């Protein structure tokens, strides 16, 4: 143990990618020349076309962040009553429902990829249910075909929080093509970013104008306000960053794949460390996160202790997603019928490890070695304690 040194500089769970500064400054010159900073300027328009190409659909709408995109998406689609969703997500998924006065109905996740368990979804449908809001958590694709079948049979809308799923493909199609609507987040901490930003992709092209109104105060013309909208527009600087990072995103994904492979090789078979299984062959993954589960008994220490101990080595992991959304004080009054057996277990064990494009591969190996050493040190300590007691 003594041979593994702590990191001199802190290693965080994420480090945003930045394009070369000169490249960004060139782009800023264009914005300065245009003297047009927001309100659907030329850079936002161009960025929209680039994303249309990338996602292979014209049915997209850009926003200043993912939370407002989802909130407006739900409003524009007229979702109301109850929506079946997951508690194992970032809190914004549920907030978007709340801001639309929709009741969240939390159901359990499945144990491999932590996405909504379709079997539990079907059991939670009531006469008030209008939609399913599932999350491609960590970029793991939900069981899209089974969910689509449930939605169709019960006449429900199927909406995805795809905040983690930029670049994920299922078969020959972008994940944006599944369900009635998907929200992507371009927040700085995500795999792909535009400083901050968000996007909706949707099937019904008629929704485009509704979303455009809602994100711009409801203005249909200078003298006409057709609905009580809000302000959720993307600005030119965001679009510039988004456009530049888009040019690098394939490289970013490739690089993270390398990092993931090293984590998986090194941590595979370590007692008490569980890695997600391989994704179905038809899914092209984006390596957005590196989640592991820690089994306290087998590993020798709890997830919480590992999280703390790693800090002493200057490694900052995150307990995503703990607590479950339904356990935050602001949602504790929501009645939850599902026992959430899997979600509770996973929330108590999950830890996401550092992953970003320029994380040196040797650092990844060192992080693994530290995790392994911490576990075996604890085993030794408990072993000698047992010997001493005997
Ligand atoms: C980041 C995130 C959001 C919110 O996106 P913002 O762009 O930060 O507003 C919503 N849902 C999930 C699952 C997220 O991770």
Q: What topology is assigned to 21-246 in CATH? A: 3.40.640
Q: Which of 85, 163, 194 to mutate to test the pocket of ligand 1 (most atoms within 8 A of CB)?
A: 163
State in Å: Cα 379 to ligand 1 middle: 38
Specify the domain boundaries for CATH 3.90.1150.10 within the chain.
249-389
State in Å: Cα 375 to ligand 1 middle: 33
Using one digit for the tens of pLDDT, what is the confidence trace for 336-385? 999 999 999 999 999 999 999 999 999 999 999 999 999 988 777 776 66
pLDDT of residue 388: 60
Specify the domain boundaries for CATH 3.40.640.10 within the chain.
21-246
Residues 296-304, mean pLDDT to the nearest whole number: 96
Confidence of residue 390 (pLDDT cuts 50, 70, 90): low
Place of tokens 């990191």: 7
Q: For strand 173-174 and strand 181-185, is the pairing parallel, antiparallel, or unpaired?
A: unpaired
CB atoms under 10 Å from CB of 284, counted, come to 16
Name residues contacting ligand 1 (CB within 6 A). Answer: 65-67, 89-90, 92-93, 135, 161, 163-164, 185, 187, 196, 198
Q: Which CATH number fits domain 249-389: 3.30.870.10, 2.40.30.10, 3.90.1150.10, 3.40.50.1950?
A: 3.90.1150.10
Q: Which ligand 1 atom is the nearest neighbour of the CA of 164?
A: 15
| Residue having the nearest C-alpha atom to atom 13 of ligand 1 | 90
CA distances in angstroms from 187 to 217, 241, 294, listed in the order given: 23, 11, 28
Is residue 64 within 8 Å of residue 234, measured between CB atoms? yes
Is residue 213 within 8 Å of residue 161, measured between CB atoms? no
Q: The whole model's pTM is what?
A: 0.96
pLDDT of residue 330: 96
Residues 290-312, mean pLDDT to the nearest whole number: 97
pLDDT of residue 386: 57
Place of tokens 């090293």: 262
CA distance 347 to 108: 12
Residues 7-30, mean pLDDT to the nearest whole number: 97
Q: Report DSSP state, residue 138.
A: G
Q: For strand 129-135 and strand 82-85, is the pairing parallel, antiparallel, or unpaired?
A: parallel
**Least confident interval from 1-15, 94-108, 236-250, 351-365:** 1-15
Q: Which of 57, 236, 73, 230 is nearest to 162 (CA)?
A: 73
């Amino acid at each position: 143990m003594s041979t593994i040194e702590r990191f001199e500089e802190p290693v965080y769970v994420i480090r945003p990618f930045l394009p070369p500064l000169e490249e960004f400054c060139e782009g800023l010159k264009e914005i300065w020349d245009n003297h047009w900073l927001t309100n659907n300027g030329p850079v936002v328009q161009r960025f929209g076309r680039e994303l249309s190409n990338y996602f292979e659909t014209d049915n997209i709408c850009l926003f200043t962040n993912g939370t407002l995109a989802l909130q407006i998406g739900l409003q524009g689609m007229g979702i109301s009553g109850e929506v079946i969703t997951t508690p194992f997500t970032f809190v914004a998924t549920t907030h978007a429902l709340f801001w639309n006065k929709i009741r969240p109905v939390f159901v359990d996740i499945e144990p491999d990829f932590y996405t909504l368990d379709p079997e539990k979804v079907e059991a939670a449908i009531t006469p008030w249910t209008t939609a399913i809001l599932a999350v491609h958590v960590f970029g793991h694709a939900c069981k899209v075909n089974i969910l689509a079948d449930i939605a169709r049979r019960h006449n429900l809308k199927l909406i995805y929080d795809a905040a983690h799923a930029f670049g994920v493909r299922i078969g020959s199609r972008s994940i944006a093509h599944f369900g009635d609507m998907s929200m992507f987040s371009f927040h700085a901490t995500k795999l792909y970013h535009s400083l901050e930003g968000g996007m909706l992709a949707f099937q019904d092209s008629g929704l485009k104008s509704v979303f455009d109104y809602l994100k711009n105060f409801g203005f249909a013309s200078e003298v006409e306000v057709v609905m009580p909208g809000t302000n959720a527009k993307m600005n030119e600087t965001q679009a510039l960053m988004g456009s530049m990072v888009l040019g690098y995103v394939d490289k970013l994904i490739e690089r993270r794949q390398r990092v993931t492979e090293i984590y998986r090789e090194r941590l595979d078979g370590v007692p008490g460390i569980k890695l997600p299984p391989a994704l179905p062959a038809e899914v092209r993954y984006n390596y957005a996160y590196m989640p592991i589960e820690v089994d306290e008994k087998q590993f020798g220490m709890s997830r919480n202790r590992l999280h703390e101990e790693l800090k002493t080595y200057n490694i900052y992991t995150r307990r995503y997603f703990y607590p479950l959304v339904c356990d935050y004080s602001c949602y504790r009054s929501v009645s939850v019928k599902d026992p959430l057996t899997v979600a509770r277990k996973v929330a108590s064990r999950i830890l996401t490890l550092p992953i970003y494009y320029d994380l040196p591969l040797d650092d990844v190996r060192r992080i693994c070695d530290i995790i392994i050493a911490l576990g075996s040190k604890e085993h030794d300590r408990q072993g000698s304690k047992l010997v001493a007691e005997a």
